[in-house]
Protein backbone atom coordinates (compact mmCIF):
# COMPACT_ATOMS: atom_id res chain seq x y z
CA UNK A 1 0.00 0.00 0.00
CA UNK A 2 1.10 3.54 0.62
CA UNK A 3 4.26 4.82 2.19
CA UNK A 4 2.27 5.37 5.33
CA UNK A 5 1.87 1.65 5.80
CA UNK A 6 5.57 1.03 5.69
CA UNK A 7 5.77 2.59 9.15
CA UNK A 8 3.72 -0.32 10.40
CA UNK A 9 6.31 -3.01 9.77
CA UNK A 10 7.88 -3.74 13.13
CA UNK A 11 7.36 -6.40 15.78
CA UNK A 12 5.18 -4.50 18.24
CA UNK A 13 2.45 -2.34 16.76
CA UNK A 14 0.69 0.12 19.01
CA UNK A 15 -2.77 1.23 17.90
CA UNK A 16 -5.05 3.86 19.43
CA UNK A 17 -8.80 3.26 19.21
CA UNK A 18 -10.90 6.41 19.07
CA UNK A 19 -14.64 5.95 18.96
CA UNK A 20 -18.03 7.65 19.19
CA UNK A 21 -16.66 11.15 18.87
CA UNK A 22 -20.11 12.59 17.93
CA UNK A 23 -18.66 15.94 16.86
CA UNK A 24 -20.51 18.86 15.26
CA UNK A 25 -19.76 21.44 12.59
CA UNK A 26 -20.21 24.03 15.36
CA UNK A 27 -17.76 23.31 18.14
CA UNK A 28 -19.95 25.02 20.77
CA UNK A 29 -22.76 22.49 20.35
CA UNK A 30 -23.69 20.13 23.15
CA UNK A 31 -23.87 16.36 22.71
CA UNK A 32 -25.63 16.26 26.07
CA UNK A 33 -26.23 19.00 28.67
CA UNK A 34 -22.78 20.03 29.92
CA UNK A 35 -20.90 18.03 27.26
CA UNK A 36 -19.51 19.74 24.18
CA UNK A 37 -18.27 16.80 22.13
CA UNK A 38 -15.81 18.78 19.99
CA UNK A 39 -14.14 19.97 23.17
CA UNK A 40 -14.03 16.51 24.75
CA UNK A 41 -12.47 15.21 21.52
CA UNK A 42 -9.81 17.92 21.75
CA UNK A 43 -9.17 16.99 25.38
CA UNK A 44 -8.69 13.35 24.42
CA UNK A 45 -6.24 14.31 21.66
CA UNK A 46 -4.29 16.44 24.09
CA UNK A 47 -3.96 13.48 26.47
CA UNK A 48 -2.86 11.25 23.60
CA UNK A 49 -0.21 13.75 22.57
CA UNK A 50 1.12 13.79 26.13
CA UNK A 51 1.01 10.07 26.88
CA UNK A 52 0.78 7.85 23.82
CA UNK A 53 1.58 9.55 20.55
CA UNK A 54 5.33 8.98 20.49
CA UNK A 55 5.20 5.17 20.23
CA UNK A 56 1.90 4.71 18.37
CA UNK A 57 1.78 3.55 14.74
CA UNK A 58 -1.85 4.08 13.75
CA UNK A 59 -5.41 4.91 14.79
CA UNK A 60 -8.60 2.87 14.47
CA UNK A 61 -11.59 5.24 14.32
CA UNK A 62 -14.63 3.07 14.93
CA UNK A 63 -17.66 5.13 14.02
CA UNK A 64 -20.32 7.55 15.24
CA UNK A 65 -17.79 10.17 14.28
CA UNK A 66 -20.35 12.92 13.61
CA UNK A 67 -23.47 13.93 15.50
CA UNK A 68 -24.83 16.27 12.80
CA UNK A 69 -23.55 14.27 9.78
CA UNK A 70 -22.16 17.40 8.09
CA UNK A 71 -19.07 17.54 5.93
CA UNK A 72 -17.76 20.25 8.28
CA UNK A 73 -17.92 17.87 11.23
CA UNK A 74 -15.87 15.27 9.34
CA UNK A 75 -13.44 17.99 8.31
CA UNK A 76 -13.07 18.90 11.99
CA UNK A 77 -11.93 15.33 12.66
CA UNK A 78 -9.52 15.37 9.70
CA UNK A 79 -8.01 18.68 10.78
CA UNK A 80 -7.49 17.52 14.36
CA UNK A 81 -6.21 14.01 13.59
CA UNK A 82 -3.86 15.30 10.89
CA UNK A 83 -1.95 16.97 13.72
CA UNK A 84 -1.10 13.50 15.05
CA UNK A 85 0.31 12.50 11.65
CA UNK A 86 -0.71 8.84 11.94
CA UNK A 87 -2.67 6.70 9.48
CA UNK A 88 -6.34 6.48 10.46
CA UNK A 89 -8.28 3.32 9.55
CA UNK A 90 -11.99 4.05 9.90
CA UNK A 91 -15.41 2.41 9.79
CA UNK A 92 -18.76 4.23 9.97
CA UNK A 93 -21.32 3.97 12.77
CA UNK A 94 -25.09 4.29 12.80
CA UNK A 95 -24.85 8.07 13.29
CA UNK A 96 -22.61 8.65 10.27
CA UNK A 97 -23.42 9.91 6.80
CA UNK A 98 -21.25 7.49 4.87
CA UNK A 99 -21.17 9.51 1.65
CA UNK A 100 -20.18 12.80 3.36
CA UNK A 101 -17.68 10.93 5.54
CA UNK A 102 -16.14 9.13 2.58
CA UNK A 103 -15.93 12.31 0.51
CA UNK A 104 -14.16 14.28 3.25
CA UNK A 105 -11.92 11.50 4.55
CA UNK A 106 -10.85 10.49 1.03
CA UNK A 107 -9.25 13.91 0.61
CA UNK A 108 -6.80 13.15 3.41
CA UNK A 109 -3.70 11.08 2.70
CA UNK A 110 -3.87 9.76 6.27
CA UNK A 111 -7.41 8.33 6.24
CA UNK A 112 -8.03 4.81 4.93
CA UNK A 113 -11.28 2.93 4.44
CA UNK A 114 -9.98 -0.49 3.51
CA UNK A 115 -11.38 -3.98 4.05
CA UNK A 116 -8.16 -5.46 5.35
CA UNK A 117 -4.90 -4.40 7.00
CA UNK A 118 -2.08 -6.91 7.10
CA UNK A 119 0.54 -6.45 9.82
CA UNK A 120 3.47 -8.72 10.67
CA UNK A 121 1.64 -10.81 13.28
CA UNK A 122 -1.96 -9.70 12.93
CA UNK A 123 -4.58 -9.44 10.21
CA UNK A 124 -7.38 -6.87 10.62
CA UNK A 125 -10.71 -6.94 8.78
CA UNK A 126 -12.83 -3.76 8.79
CA UNK A 127 -16.61 -4.01 8.45
CA UNK A 128 -19.36 -1.46 7.96
CA UNK A 129 -22.29 -2.40 10.22
CA UNK A 130 -24.54 0.53 9.38
CA UNK A 131 -28.08 -0.49 8.46
CA UNK A 132 -29.11 1.96 5.76
CA UNK A 133 -32.37 3.73 6.55
CA UNK A 134 -32.46 2.65 10.19
CA UNK A 135 -33.05 5.31 12.83
CA UNK A 136 -33.06 3.10 15.93
CA UNK A 137 -29.30 2.54 16.19
CA UNK A 138 -29.20 -1.18 15.46
CA UNK A 139 -26.46 -2.67 13.31
CA UNK A 140 -26.49 -5.13 10.44
CA UNK A 141 -23.87 -6.82 8.30
CA UNK A 142 -25.25 -6.44 4.78
CA UNK A 143 -24.74 -8.98 2.01
CA UNK A 144 -22.02 -6.72 0.60
CA UNK A 145 -20.18 -6.55 3.92
CA UNK A 146 -20.65 -10.26 4.54
CA UNK A 147 -18.82 -10.81 1.25
CA UNK A 148 -16.06 -8.45 2.42
CA UNK A 149 -15.69 -10.66 5.50
CA UNK A 150 -15.80 -13.91 3.50
CA UNK A 151 -13.29 -12.62 0.93
CA UNK A 152 -10.89 -11.33 3.58
CA UNK A 153 -11.03 -14.60 5.52
CA UNK A 154 -10.48 -16.56 2.29
CA UNK A 155 -7.49 -14.37 1.34
CA UNK A 156 -5.98 -14.76 4.79
CA UNK A 157 -6.59 -18.52 4.70
CA UNK A 158 -4.53 -20.79 6.89
CA UNK A 159 -2.21 -18.52 8.83
CA UNK A 160 -0.04 -18.38 11.89
CA UNK A 161 -1.11 -14.79 12.36
CA UNK A 162 -3.89 -13.72 14.69
CA UNK A 163 -7.05 -12.32 13.11
CA UNK A 164 -9.08 -9.37 14.40
CA UNK A 165 -12.29 -7.76 13.16
CA UNK A 166 -12.92 -4.04 13.58
CA UNK A 167 -16.47 -2.65 13.42
CA UNK A 168 -18.82 -0.16 15.08
CA UNK A 169 -21.68 -2.23 16.51
CA UNK A 170 -21.10 -5.00 19.00
CA UNK A 171 -21.58 -8.69 18.31
CA UNK A 172 -22.14 -9.92 21.85
CA UNK A 173 -23.79 -8.50 24.97
CA UNK A 174 -21.71 -6.23 27.18
CA UNK A 175 -24.23 -6.49 30.04
CA UNK A 176 -25.83 -3.06 29.58
CA UNK A 177 -29.40 -3.72 28.36
CA UNK A 178 -29.91 -0.16 27.05
CA UNK A 179 -27.21 -0.66 24.41
CA UNK A 180 -27.41 -4.45 24.10
CA UNK A 181 -30.74 -3.90 22.28
CA UNK A 182 -28.75 -2.26 19.52
CA UNK A 183 -26.23 -4.94 18.49
CA UNK A 184 -25.59 -6.33 15.01
CA UNK A 185 -28.94 -8.00 14.30
CA UNK A 186 -27.55 -10.87 12.21
CA UNK A 187 -24.67 -11.47 14.60
CA UNK A 188 -25.23 -15.23 14.83
CA UNK A 189 -24.18 -15.67 11.20
CA UNK A 190 -21.17 -13.38 11.67
CA UNK A 191 -20.06 -15.07 14.89
CA UNK A 192 -20.24 -18.47 13.24
CA UNK A 193 -17.81 -17.29 10.57
CA UNK A 194 -15.49 -15.72 13.15
CA UNK A 195 -15.40 -18.88 15.23
CA UNK A 196 -14.76 -21.06 12.16
CA UNK A 197 -11.83 -18.82 11.19
CA UNK A 198 -10.55 -18.76 14.80
CA UNK A 199 -10.72 -14.98 14.95
CA UNK A 200 -9.09 -13.89 18.22
CA UNK A 201 -10.34 -10.37 18.73
CA UNK A 202 -13.23 -8.08 17.85
CA UNK A 203 -12.76 -4.33 18.35
CA UNK A 204 -15.96 -2.30 18.43
CA UNK A 205 -17.41 1.05 19.50
CA UNK A 206 -21.10 2.00 19.91
CA UNK A 207 -21.45 0.94 23.56
CA UNK A 208 -19.93 4.17 24.97
CA UNK A 209 -17.88 2.35 27.54
CA UNK A 210 -14.74 0.42 28.26
CA UNK A 211 -15.60 -3.25 27.96
CA UNK A 212 -13.74 -6.52 27.55
CA UNK A 213 -15.93 -9.59 27.10
CA UNK A 214 -14.77 -13.11 26.27
CA UNK A 215 -17.12 -15.52 24.49
CA UNK A 216 -16.38 -18.67 22.50
CA UNK A 217 -12.63 -17.94 22.76
CA UNK A 218 -13.07 -14.55 21.07
CA UNK A 219 -12.23 -11.38 23.00
CA UNK A 220 -14.55 -8.43 22.38
CA UNK A 221 -13.04 -5.07 23.29
CA UNK A 222 -14.47 -1.57 23.15
CA UNK A 223 -12.91 1.79 23.89
CA UNK A 224 -14.59 4.52 25.90
CA UNK A 225 -16.32 7.13 23.76
CA UNK A 226 -14.48 10.42 23.47
CA UNK A 227 -17.68 12.36 24.33
CA UNK A 228 -19.41 10.58 27.25
CA UNK A 229 -20.05 7.09 28.58
CA UNK A 230 -23.31 5.24 29.12
CA UNK A 231 -23.55 4.06 32.71
CA UNK A 232 -22.87 0.35 32.85
CA UNK A 233 -25.86 -1.89 33.45
CA UNK A 234 -28.57 0.67 32.60
CA UNK A 235 -31.92 -0.08 31.00
CA UNK A 236 -32.78 3.63 30.50
CA UNK A 237 -30.50 6.30 29.02
CA UNK A 238 -28.04 7.63 31.62
CA UNK A 239 -24.73 9.32 30.91
CA UNK A 240 -21.46 9.42 32.78
CA UNK A 241 -19.28 12.49 32.17
CA UNK A 242 -16.06 10.61 31.55
CA UNK A 243 -13.99 10.59 28.38
CA UNK A 244 -11.20 8.45 27.03
CA UNK A 245 -9.67 6.08 24.54
CA UNK A 246 -7.95 2.69 24.39
CA UNK A 247 -4.55 1.56 23.19
CA UNK A 248 -3.58 -1.89 21.94
CA UNK A 249 -0.12 -3.33 21.50
CA UNK A 250 -0.09 -6.18 18.96
CA UNK A 251 2.85 -8.57 18.94
CA UNK A 252 3.76 -12.10 17.88
CA UNK A 253 2.60 -13.27 21.32
CA UNK A 254 -0.85 -11.70 21.16
CA UNK A 255 -1.89 -8.29 22.38
CA UNK A 256 -2.39 -6.09 25.43
CA UNK A 257 -4.88 -3.28 25.80
CA UNK A 258 -4.78 -0.27 28.08
CA UNK A 259 -7.77 1.99 28.75
CA UNK A 260 -7.48 5.69 29.48
CA UNK A 261 -10.67 7.03 31.07
CA UNK A 262 -11.08 10.13 33.21
CA UNK A 263 -13.60 12.64 34.54
CA UNK A 264 -14.47 15.38 32.09
CA UNK A 265 -14.39 18.57 34.13
FE1 LIG B 1 -23.38 3.91 17.60
pLDDT at residue 5 tops 80: no
72-86 per-position pLDDT tens digit: 999 999 999 999 999
Instruction: Determine the structural domain holding residue 157 and report its residue range.
Output: 3-263
Which strands form 13-18's sheet, in the order they lie side by side? 111-112, 88-90, 58-61, 13-18, 242-251, 254-263
Distance 49 CA to ligand 1 centre (A): 26
pLDDT at residue 128 tops 70: yes
Distance 95 CA to ligand 1 centre (A): 6
Pick the more confident residue, 7 or 108. Answer: 108
Which residues lie near ion ligand 1 (Cβ < 5 Å)?
A: 64, 93-94, 206
Distance 64 CA to ligand 1 centre (A): 5
205-264 per-position pLDDT tens digit: 999 999 999 999 999 999 999 999 999 999 999 999 999 999 999 999 999 999 999 999
Strands 111-112 and 88-90, how do they pair? parallel
Distance 253 CA to ligand 1 centre (A): 31
Our count of domains for the chain comes to 1
Distance 53 CA to ligand 1 centre (A): 26
Distance 255 CA to ligand 1 centre (A): 25
Taking a C-beta distance cutoff of 8 angstroms, is the pair 250, 15 a contact?
A: yes
pLDDT at residue 68 tops 70: yes
pTM: 0.95
CATH of the domain at 217: 3.60.21.10
Distance 156 CA to ligand 1 centre (A): 29
- Strand (E) positions, 67-210? 88-90, 111-112, 116-118, 122-126, 162-166, 201-204
Amino acid sequence: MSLVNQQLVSDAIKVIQLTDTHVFSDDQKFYYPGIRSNQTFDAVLQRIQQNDLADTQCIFLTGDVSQDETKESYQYIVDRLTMLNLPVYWVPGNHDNVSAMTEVFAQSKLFFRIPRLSLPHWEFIFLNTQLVGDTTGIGYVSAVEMKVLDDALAQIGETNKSIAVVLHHHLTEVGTPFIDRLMVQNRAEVLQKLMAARVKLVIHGHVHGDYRVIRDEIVFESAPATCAQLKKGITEFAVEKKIGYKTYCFTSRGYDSVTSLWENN
